[in-house]
Amino acid sequence: MSRIGRQPVPLPNGVKATLGDGTIQISGPLGQTEQAVAPSIRVTVDDAAKAVHIERTAEDRETRALHGLTRSLIANMVVGVTKGYVRGIQVVGVGYSAKVEGDELVIQVGYHNDLRIPIPKSLKVAPPESGSLIVSGVGSVPCSTVRISGLDKQKVNEFASELRRLKPAEPYRGKGIRYEGEEIRRKAGKAFAAQE
């Protein structure tokens, strides 16, 4: 039996789980989220113990894989409606910047035109914080930090990944878009021999 799947998901105070037709809905202080549940997985809500139990109805490979996955998704939903998820993105480089205009994130990363990325309705993007980042071998480089927050862990990380993909940080000067706290593997530039 799945070690993860057999663990009940505790429901903190103020969090409520509701079962629908093939779905589970979790509501809490920050909002509510819904997740589809595979037909081969049985989900039960124990109101007395304030927990959600996940069981599988078959022993085939796919059902065994879905057992632990379903438990993890429900646990992530509980964290989402109580604390929420936040992911930081850093836009690093001279002349590189980010700003929020209405429901769009506008990023300048050295292209001819600004990149305008629509912000998904279920996510919030805080106004970027300007600062500087110490890059080894280069020194202090201007940096804008964008924080993405939301209830759904997958949507927060997916949007952060889409932003990073626009201009990944290059290994020589470290310019580009990176996750907050991400270490970029550096490369040495060309070393020219002394001219005689």
- Would you identify the CATH topology of the domain 85-179? Outer Surface Protein A; domain 3 (3.90.930)
Q: Over 70: is that where the pLDDT of 196 sits?
A: no
Task: Please choose, from the candidates 40, 16, 43, the residue with its C-alpha nearest in 3D space to the C-alpha of residue 27.
Answer: 16
Q: Could you check whether 9-82 and 85-179 share the same CATH topology?
A: yes
CA–CA dist 79, 153 (Å, integer): 9
Cβ contacts of 191 within 8 Å, gap of 6 or more: none
Per DSSP, the three-state class of 38 is coil
CA–CA dist 52, 59 (Å, integer): 21
Identify the pLDDT of residue 140: 79
Q: What is the pLDDT of residues 93-102, one digit of tens each?
A: 888 999 999 9
Q: What is the pLDDT of residues 39-56, one digit of tens each?
A: 999 999 998 889 999 999
The ranges assigned to domains in the chain are: 9-82, 85-179
**8 Å CB contact between 24 and 35:** yes
CA–CA dist 105, 163 (Å, integer): 10
CATH architecture observed for domain 9-82: Alpha-Beta Complex (3.90)
